[in-house]
Structure 1
Amino acid sequence: MKTVFRRSLPFAFLAPFALAACATAQSPAPLAETTAPATPSDSSLTALVDEVQIPYERFTLENGLTTLVHTDRKAPIVGVTVYYRVGSRHEPRGRTGFAHLFEHLMFGGSENVENFDIPLEAAGSTSTNGSTWYDRTNYVETVPTGALDLALFMESDRMGYLLGAVTQEKLDNQRMVVQNEKRQNDNQPYGLLDYLMAEGLLPVGHPYRHDTIGSMADLEAASLTDVQKWFRDNYGPNNVVLVLAGDIDAATARPMVERWFGDIPRGPEVAEAPGGPVTLAAPVERVVTDQVPATQIYRSWTGPEMTDPDAIPVAVGMHILGGLASSRLDNAMVRGDEIATTVSAYALGFEEMSRLVTMVEVKDGVEREAAEAKLVAETERLIAEGPTAAELERAQTSLIASTVGGLERVGGFGGKGMVLAEGELYTGDAEHYRKELEAIAALTPAQVQGALQRWLSRPAYTLSIVPGERKLDGATMGGWGDEDLYPPPAPDARAPVEVTRTAPPREAPPVLPVDELTFPQVERATLSNGIEVVLARRDAVPMVSMTLTFAAGSVVDPVDSAGRHETMMDLLTEGTTSRSALDIAIALEELGSSLSAGAGVETSQVTLTTLTSNLAPSVELMADVTLNPAFRAEDVARVKEQRLAEIAQELASPGSLASKAFMPLIYGEEHPYAHASSSGDPAVVSALTPAALKAEHDRWLRPDLAQITAVGDVSMAELVAALEAGFGDWQPLTSVPPIRYLAAPGPAPRAQIVGVDRPNSPSSYLMLGRLTPLVGEPEGIEVIETANEVLGGGFLSRLNSDLRETKGWTYGIRSGIPAATGQRRFSIATQVQADRTGDSIVAIVDQLKAYPATAPVDPVELQRVTDGNVRNLPNRFETNGQVLGALVSNRLFGRDIRYQAQLPEIYRAMDADALNAAAAEYLVPDNLTIVVVGDRETVAPQLEQLGMDVTWLDAEVL
């Protein structure tokens, strides 16, 4: 499936919810001179920890299957999470990547299920997915309560009745899909990093050395015999943790689990592959050239296993070094000497070891050696001095507070089911997350310093990736590591292997009726300055999320000023007239809040998430950054450098290159949408002045262009009181507010192919589409969007089923008609293996021609995109963030504020004729603009065979 490789802190619970392990640039200010709220006491940290509770019940079947059940009745949904104790570290030499390949195969159907996704999505499942990592393989879905029995049947059939359905054809197809996933990952800037990091830190044969996705040669060697042996050796119920979280209890769950899983026999215990931390004999340095826009330096070590007493203190120490917004590396290298555009430090945890990583992206014009020396010096300074009490308290509060919001999700990646499963699988204790949180709350500076001294004083592996020619081949990397000594394994001979049913047939259970979506009621108020406030009250977690939205966005920039408005929004959190950027960062960390400011295409937003108990001071901070940005010259200079670095990254990314070429072609160079999705024009950004940015702020950030939308555990009276205290003195201007101009006509659609040469690309990025006559949210837009869902709007769409599941040429493909208040476009995007670029374009066009002319919507598709969408609505609005996003969109597009509550009626009114008619009018292949980003030498001959003129653009001038 759409595999996610999980990269995280080593905390089993904190990992899904912890603050991002990278720090943003802030203005310089000594720690001793900052002004911030009082730091939390031990009792307040304990109170935060007490907010994180996942009570559960346990039972174990005779065959060894361990089941944990957590009851959460806030919505009629259940998260199903299945963890197998097998990952890439269990793979033998010559079969790297096999655990991940097998994960893909387990989505291909079983002896009693032709396709796992079709019945689950038809029943209303969301987050139907799986992933593989070094220590485990997992499968997740969140289903309506009435579909739980079906989901358990599916998972049990995958576990006990698989082999009779895995054919050579399926193996060959999923092998190609995984190889294209590898090509796609390798094709990104810094795409070889993981291979290089593992090679430098670990010796050949260490189970954590080879990459989870493996090498091309090993993937090609996997045979059906391997598949059958791997399944029998590793996928027995005694090697599994099943977690059910949500609208379910153990008394109800046990007979269901026994019914479906009880007859599956035990299997062998998974053979362990010990792989603890390794200490290098001496420091190692490596410099690698690649097609990247900036030098990045990584300094890393292996670290302690998950249950080691040092795991928590060393990870918190790394957070202080380069994870906090007020981190040591940020203060020294981004704000202080201003020699880096981005820094980070983090612990990446596995069951038996971890990676401790520091990273610096070097500012243009700075010598790599100088940046590396500063990175070493700041790391050694923290080791020698240890963190201050204030630094530790900020790290403790921010990390623990960030877990509270994660309690909203019962399933999926990062949900409560995953937290319990990982604790049980890795440590034998489903409540291991509590021990981690309690350990964080109890830490002292001396404990953190001691852990850092023990682990970061060892020899480091330093890897520098610098701009230049890519000389390494990702296809040969990721394997065991001794390929230079031994020939690669022989490719799969496709020898006949008996594939027969292993057990009598079983019938899938029916899906019970599903409760209707309960979309929250909405309250309205108006502040004294006229700003309208909308609140949806939800008390699942003691938190509030809110967005201050302005009718602006990057579309307000004229073409000759692209990037001005976004840069202005970036600077809001970089300092106010009374606070430095470091003051802001420290205040947020001590409050356990997050605050961001940025510009989308059609709106500019300041967004706050905070504990309800800290609402008032957090809103005051939100108001300060919105109303009183300082635009100091030094802050402006630094943020401009960071935005220029973002622009350079876009020019190195195949997807961004495709978008930068595609949007002006279909909208026209002068249209507001033409450049609104990019980070701007480097010349424009370089020329920006503090005065110009302040003028931009004063023009667009005004109360008569603002709306406030909030979701969470707060009353309207409490919310209004906090908002009045923060924003009440912000009075409307007497001048007429500016208006976004979005009605510029686009060029007439015409058929054209435009290539962008990106040498050494193992994949080609395709973007196809044209403008539609649709503007804003016309009546019946839901029918058009649902017709597109059949074509390319999801994993089961026709395009994805053809190019990925049947042909194996891509890791995924999507089509859509993105929402907009102006003229909307129809577009298709995918990354395909380079030697199938031309074939993929033909296949996409063929699918467009067939729908609906020769292939109208069939009954299975119709049920999935209508009744299936009705059934999955409760899943789609489970969290505060999901509801907040819906409300903000409703206000932007002029919908009824509770529009989502109307969707069941809208979906049920659709029929096949309506979807076919929409496809025939809006999803046809006429006059497509086709952009291809790839290796011209490989791609050009294929494009010539299509019979269309091809224009090639220079990536440097996009």
Structure 2
Amino acid sequence: MRNLMLTSALALALAGCATVPAAESATDTAATNSAEVAVAPLGEMIEDVKLDYETFTLDNGLEVVVHTDRKAPIVGVTTYYRVGSKHEPRGRTGFAHLFEHIMFTGSENVDNFDIPLEAAGSTSTNGSTNFDRTNYVETVPTGALDLALMMESDRMGYLLGAVDQAKLDKQRGVVQNEKRQGDNQPYGLTFYALLEGLFPVGHPYRHSVIGSMADLDAASLGDVHQWFKDNYGPNNVVLVLTGDIDAATARPKVERWFGSIPAGPEVRKVEGGPVTLAADKSREIADQVPLPRVYRAWSGPAQDHPDAIPLALGFELLGSLNSSRLDKALVREEQLAVSVGAFNLLAEDVSIMVAQMDVKPGVDRATAEARLDALIAELVESGPEEEELKRAATSLIAQAVNQLEAVGDFGGKGIVFAEGALFNDDPGHYLDDLRETAATTPGQVREALQRWLTRPVFKLAIVPGERTEDGATMGGWGDEATVPPEPSTNAGVVQTASGEAREMPPVEPVGALTFPTTQSARLSNGVEVTLARRTAVPKVLMSIEFDAGLAADGAARAGTQSLMMEMLEQGTTTRSVDDIAEEQELLGASISTGTSVDRSTVTLDTLSANLAPSLELVADIVRNPAFNETDVARVRDQRLAAIAQQIASPIGLAQRVFGPIVYGRDHPYGSVGASGERDVVSSVTTASLADAHRTWLRPDNMRVTVVGDVEMANLLPALEAAFGDWQAPAGAPPAKQLDAPVAQTGPAIYVLDRPNSPQSVLLFGRALPLTGRDQGLEALELANEVIGNGFLSRINMNLREEKGWSYGARSNISDPLGPRALTVFTRVQSDRTGDSIQLILDEMRAFPSTRGVDAVELQRVTDGNIRNLPNRYQTNAQVLGALLDNQRLGRPADYQSKLPDLYRAIDAASLEQAATRYLRPDQMAIIVVGDRGQIDSQIAGLGLPVTYLDPETGEVVDSDVSSAD
């Protein structure tokens, strides 16, 4: 769909080279920055992102697009069906998405799609559904392409004989838990309300993709069969192959597997364009949220309408850019809001245009709303300035280049081609979007805004209070109370094979991983620099790391380090916060700061041609933060609001108490996390932030790692100019006491009450007697894949696929420098909270004492992982992450290249020994966030001590040891 490029990376709009003077600082004491920023000619990049492709169509109507990219021995397989939720009839909302799930349950010749593909080295098979289409994606080693094509063709042509009532019922449970998962979040009912406000009953875009619970309950096996017959013929499909493949090789393979599948009926046409409301309308919904969130929404033109790109640009500069009008006025200058946003969600027949604002605590909501309306009106009246339009387009094209880096899966080249082919009959249509954007003028944006935003508006407000709306009843057609749905029927359902049995093809030899080599150097002040050169896209990704992180705070100062890092982008001694935002957008750069457990990081993602000026900006941010009192006060208030939002979230509540429970408040890892404690954040001052900066951000505590299209001969001088004269202060950086004792926990249950929750969040955890720098743990990591880390893991397959109590579950072994932690995380329907805890405990206790590693599991996690290695390092970000892990954990730079031999040496006994030693659940703390009214009786029967924690503070409010053994 066209919004793929529009919402992530709209255009190259800047043709030719511009030289823009940096603005003066907003502070009285700041010196004038008279330097000019030389911006590379982005217009020529339109041709740089032009991708070659070939097409052919089978006799049955299947359209195929092939793009060759030989950077790795992998092929992205992307399959698009021309059917989505807008095609659903009354009484069957959510069915297109439910059917997508059913497509993964097996076909007549394939019992399980994931096991053979992951064993062959594929990424996990995945899919998604939206209003207009359904897609399925995987990226496989070249030698497994026939296997992937056989499987995709088998569910296209040989499905119904394998779909029974049991499969339907299980996937119905999974989807309903997916719906509960979304509904259970703060503001989780918003999109239902927006659709209901913008479209009348019967409009195909009015009901949500997830649908209503009643309609999901009503779906029958007869519906499944009819939906497949009506919509899943090859003539309604685009198949895209991207990567280590060419059309001459692809065509006989596609004809072999898909050619005999007969065409089906054409997907029925559905009309559903924009709707102009008769008058402004408003709705207010109470929810368990800390802050009022207000929306302004309109329906708008289809994705191919001439106004689509101008409107997308208008909403980008209104509320998506860091320098956006809403950010600048409402958040930074007038401080009426703590966060804002704007987006234009484009669909085939309509768009949904939204601006939103979280009102700052203590601010009169009516005053804030009036100002929001005035800012929108000002943009509609006058249109954008040429400069801000250029910034919006330049920022978005940088993201577009990122999107074209991966060959497949979600977000890669496969979906770019597929959406162009499906909706525009042109796989290369994204290039037209970019060229059109390059020609968009401020006048065109103004005229489009005036055509569409002067119409009546839908105003929605989500306000703090007790939730009274029920998400289970929302998302449907809209007239359920007065018009009964068509009755479900299984009449005519006959489960018979669609054709003769087919054998799965063998996997051919898979190409070995070629991990990029690295070069190392040092700046004149001793800063170590590592470079991995990759030329797939004209981008550079850089990480500037400082050995600090959350552990530098511990529990006593939780939030200080992350707040200091956030303040780096809020102004320097020569640049205001607006200067920083505008300059990086003009450069096509993205600068972000972050704080992990052990590291404080500044990340730069920029166009290779703009590396030098981008580095000059980054160096100023890192070295010369102003910590202006006004900006500190603003960000401090935003952080307090963010803490309130975190406490309102069930996942946020679980995360905040995890560190104090598992590590203890006396350990550096025992804090509530990056958001921090309220009292700590409230007491932060400019002086304390400046002190944290001087203490931890210094050149002798810094390392630079770079991946991308640059040579060391050009990189090193640019870094030297930016950082080479930065001298370390006297004395060594402070040491973190990572060897401090950890808390002695578990087995025990810790409950945080969250009323009206349709799901419970479960977070199991314990500290392990291992640190991140302990080597030789590959067997443990693979054992963890068997029990919980992956779709095919035992816990996930039982809890999700067998029981249908959850949308998914995962286990993880963290790898900080200090003590590692074992965790299991899931969200389960409230009435199965106790059963789910018991299931997880039983699965972990059985591994491997009563259920050892079987041959299929062993092959999947050893040989499957070897085959999968080329998949893991497609992008600059993936390579950078691996390099940073290697450095932090003391691994050699070529560690990834050694993994095949390491995995081949691991047998079942090694996995079972690691599981026995480290993956036992007996010392795990179990954190439960849910509705006590529903879960107390369930957990009382588990035989474990129960402690109740205050959701606001995390402090103990009650304990019940009567249920303990």
TM-score range, shorter chain: over 0.9
Structure-2 residue corresponding to 1:153:
150
Does 1:296 find its partner at 2:288?
A: no
Structure-1 residue corresponding to 2:309:
312
| Letter aligned with residue 289 of structure 2 | V
Following the alignment from structure 2 to structure 1, what is the Cα–Cα distance between the partners of residues 154 and 26?
Answer: 59
Does 1:87 find its partner at 2:79?
A: no
Instruction: State which of 815, 823, 830 in structure 1 corresponds to 2:826.
Output: 830
Instruction: State which of 887, 898, 903 in structure 2 corresponds to 1:902.
Output: 898
Shift of 1:190: 0.6
Does 1:579 find its partner at 2:571?
A: no
Question: Is the 8 Å Cα contact of residues 771 and 815 (structure 2) preserved in structure 1?
Answer: no
Structure-2 residue corresponding to 1:673:
669
Instruction: State which of 518, 533, 553 in structure 2 corresponds to 1:537.
Output: 533
Shift of 1:676: 5.4
Structure-2 residue corresponding to 1:353:
350
Following the alignment from structure 1 to structure 2, what is the Cα–Cα distance between the partners of residues 202 and 217?
Answer: 21
CA change 1:650–1:489 in 2 (3 A) is farther
Does 1:177 find its partner at 2:174?
A: yes
Structure-2 residue corresponding to 1:939:
935
Shift of 1:372: 0.8
Instruction: State which of 89, 102, 105 in structure 1 corresponds to 2:102.
Output: 105
Does 1:747 find its partner at 2:739?
A: no
Does 1:196 find its partner at 2:184?
A: no
> What SS does the aligned partner of 1:265 have?
coil
> What SS does the aligned partner of 1:956 have?
coil
Residues 461-499 of structure 1: per-residue CA shift (max 9 Å, x gap): 010101111000000000000112134666x67789432
Does 1:338 find its partner at 2:331?
A: no
Does 1:502 find its partner at 2:498?
A: yes
Following the alignment from structure 2 to structure 1, what is the Cα–Cα distance between the partners of residues 814 and 312?
Answer: 40
Following the alignment from structure 2 to structure 1, what is the Cα–Cα distance between the partners of residues 430 and 86?
Answer: 24
Structure-1 residue corresponding to 2:376:
379
- Correspondences of 1:12-161 after superposition (within 5 Å): 12-17=4-9, 37=36, 44-161=41-158
Structure-2 residue corresponding to 1:591:
587
Structure-2 residue corresponding to 1:4:
none
Following the alignment from structure 2 to structure 1, what is the Cα–Cα distance between the partners of residues 313 and 484?
Answer: 44
Shift of 1:734: 2.1
Following the alignment from structure 2 to structure 1, what is the Cα–Cα distance between the partners of residues 561 and 592?
Answer: 15
**More moved, 501-510 vs 395-404:** 395-404
Structure-2 residue corresponding to 1:847:
843
Question: Is the 8 Å Cα contact of residues 48 and 401 (structure 1) preserved in structure 2?
Answer: no
Following the alignment from structure 2 to structure 1, what is the Cα–Cα distance between the partners of residues 860 and 167?
Answer: 24
Residues 537-562 of structure 1: per-residue CA shift (max 9 Å, x gap): 11111111101000000111132211
Question: Is the 8 Å Cα contact of residues 570 and 631 (structure 2) preserved in structure 1?
Answer: yes
**For the aligned residues, what is the CA RMSD?**
1.7
Question: Is the 8 Å Cα contact of residues 548 and 707 (structure 1) preserved in structure 2?
Answer: yes
Instruction: State which of 265, 270, 273 in structure 1 corresponds to 2:267.
Output: 270
Does 1:408 find its partner at 2:400?
A: no
Does 1:885 find its partner at 2:885?
A: no
Following the alignment from structure 1 to structure 2, what is the Cα–Cα distance between the partners of residues 776 and 607?
Answer: 23
- Correspondences of 1:198-217 after superposition (within 5 Å): 198-217=195-214
Question: Is the 8 Å Cα contact of residues 37 and 587 (structure 1) preserved in structure 2?
Answer: no
Following the alignment from structure 2 to structure 1, what is the Cα–Cα distance between the partners of residues 185 and 125?
Answer: 26
> What SS does the aligned partner of 2:556 have?
helix
Structure-2 residue corresponding to 1:520:
516
Following the alignment from structure 1 to structure 2, what is the Cα–Cα distance between the partners of residues 515 and 949?
Answer: 52
CA change 1:390–1:752 in 2 (3 A) is same
Following the alignment from structure 2 to structure 1, what is the Cα–Cα distance between the partners of residues 474 and 33?
Answer: 48
**More moved, 776-785 vs 937-946:** 776-785
- Correspondences of 1:340-489 after superposition (within 5 Å): 340-487=337-484
Shift of 1:664: 1.2
Shift of 1:905: 0.9
Shift of 1:197: 0.5
Shift of 1:228: 0.3
Following the alignment from structure 1 to structure 2, what is the Cα–Cα distance between the partners of residues 643 and 165?
Answer: 52
| Letter aligned with residue 232 of structure 2 | Y
Residues 855-895 of structure 1: per-residue CA shift (max 9 Å, x gap): 10001000100000010110100111100111111111111
Instruction: State which of 632, 635, 650 in structure 2 corresponds to 1:639.
Output: 635
Following the alignment from structure 1 to structure 2, what is the Cα–Cα distance between the partners of residues 198 and 180?
Answer: 21
Shift of 1:853: 1.2
CA change 1:604–1:126 in 2 (3 A) is same
Question: Is the 8 Å Cα contact of residues 222 and 489 (structure 2) preserved in structure 1?
Answer: no
Structure-2 residue corresponding to 1:726:
722
Shift of 1:779: 2.9
Shift of 1:48: 2.1
CA change 1:18–1:748 in 2 (3 A) is farther
> What SS does the aligned partner of 2:230 have?
helix
Question: Is the 8 Å Cα contact of residues 392 and 445 (structure 1) preserved in structure 2?
Answer: yes
> What SS does the aligned partner of 1:957 have?
coil
Question: Is the 8 Å Cα contact of residues 557 and 680 (structure 2) preserved in structure 1?
Answer: yes
Following the alignment from structure 2 to structure 1, what is the Cα–Cα distance between the partners of residues 699 and 269?
Answer: 62
| Letter aligned with residue 844 of structure 1 | I
> What SS does the aligned partner of 1:814 have?
strand
CA change 1:620–1:380 in 2 (3 A) is same
**More moved, 660-669 vs 351-360:** 660-669
Following the alignment from structure 2 to structure 1, what is the Cα–Cα distance between the partners of residues 26 and 60?
Answer: 60
Unaligned runs of 5+ in 1: 1-7, 20-25
Structure-2 residue corresponding to 1:23:
none
Does 1:602 find its partner at 2:598?
A: yes
> What SS does the aligned partner of 1:112 have?
coil
Q: How many pairs align?
A: 939
Shift of 1:17: 4.8
> What SS does the aligned partner of 2:459 have?
strand
Question: Is the 8 Å Cα contact of residues 660 and 678 (structure 1) preserved in structure 2?
Answer: no
**More moved, 666-675 vs 684-693:** 666-675
Instruction: State which of 680, 687, 692 in structure 1 corresponds to 2:683.
Output: 687
Structure-1 residue corresponding to 2:758:
762
**More moved, 948-957 vs 291-300:** 948-957
Q: Identity of aligned pairs, percent?
A: 59
Question: Is the 8 Å Cα contact of residues 295 and 354 (structure 2) preserved in structure 1?
Answer: yes
Shift of 1:394: 1.0
Residues 548-598 of structure 1: per-residue CA shift (max 9 Å, x gap): 000000111132211111100000011000000111111111111111112
Following the alignment from structure 1 to structure 2, what is the Cα–Cα distance between the partners of residues 780 and 722?
Answer: 38
| Letter aligned with residue 339 of structure 1 | L
Structure-2 residue corresponding to 1:165:
162
Question: Is the 8 Å Cα contact of residues 126 and 142 (structure 1) preserved in structure 2?
Answer: yes
Question: Is the 8 Å Cα contact of residues 849 and 925 (structure 1) preserved in structure 2?
Answer: yes
Question: Is the 8 Å Cα contact of residues 6 and 309 (structure 2) preserved in structure 1?
Answer: no
Following the alignment from structure 1 to structure 2, what is the Cα–Cα distance between the partners of residues 290 and 725?
Answer: 52
- Correspondences of 1:778-857 after superposition (within 5 Å): 778-857=774-853
> What SS does the aligned partner of 1:946 have?
coil
| Letter aligned with residue 95 of structure 1 | R
Shift of 1:254: 0.2
Question: Is the 8 Å Cα contact of residues 34 and 583 (structure 1) preserved in structure 2?
Answer: no
Runs of 4+ in structure 1 over 2 Å off: 10-19, 26-30, 33-41, 486-490, 492-498, 747-750
Instruction: State which of 691, 700, 723 in structure 2 corresponds to 1:704.
Output: 700
CA change 1:659–1:861 in 2 (3 A) is same
Residues 345-387 of structure 1: per-residue CA shift (max 9 Å, x gap): 1111101110111011111111111111111000000111111
CA change 1:29–1:412 in 2 (3 A) is farther
Following the alignment from structure 1 to structure 2, what is the Cα–Cα distance between the partners of residues 34 and 196?
Answer: 47
> What SS does the aligned partner of 1:918 have?
helix
Question: Is the 8 Å Cα contact of residues 558 and 673 (structure 2) preserved in structure 1?
Answer: no
Structure-1 residue corresponding to 2:19:
none
Following the alignment from structure 1 to structure 2, what is the Cα–Cα distance between the partners of residues 834 and 191?
Answer: 17
Structure-2 residue corresponding to 1:5:
none
Shift of 1:395: 1.2
Following the alignment from structure 1 to structure 2, what is the Cα–Cα distance between the partners of residues 361 and 915?
Answer: 49
Residues 299-321 of structure 1: per-residue CA shift (max 9 Å, x gap): 01011101100000011011111
